[in-house]
Amino acid sequence: MVKVETHPEWYPNAKVYCDGQLIMKVGSTKPRLNVDIWSGNHPFYTGSQKILDSEGRVERFMRKYGITNQEE
């Protein structure tokens, strides 16, 4: 016996919007998708991301626990 209406409706051309602008069309179970961030405006992908950590983690660990360089 086949169950009727077990799967949601499929929209092959669902529209994805970011800040009110159409970004792309994808397949989805909803006809319209609203996103806040996508690869076109994310700092990592656009190259505008800045690294705030100016000191390395190893150096910070060494200074915190008073470990000195043993090679000298």
Q: Confirm whether 2 is domain-assigned.
A: no
Distance, CA of 36 to CA of 23 (rounded, Å): 11
Question: pLDDT of the chain along its 72 residues, tens only?
Answer: 778 888 889 999 999 999 899 999 999 999 999 999 888 888 777 777 666 655 677 777 878 888 776 654
Kindly report the CATH number assigned to the domain that includes residue 23.
4.10.80
Q: Confirm whether 70 is domain-assigned.
A: no
Q: Confirm whether 5 is domain-assigned.
A: no
Q: Confirm whether 33 is domain-assigned.
A: yes
Can you give the residue range of the structural domain that contains 55? 11-64
Which candidate, 58, 22, 51, places its Cα nearest to that of 38?
22
Distance, CA of 7 to CA of 66 (rounded, Å): 61
Q: Which long-range contacts (CB under 8 A, 24 or more apart) does 8-15 make?
A: none
Q: What is the pLDDT of residue 38?
A: 86
What contacts 26, CB < 8 A, 6 or more positions away? 14, 16, 33
What domain count does the chain have? 1
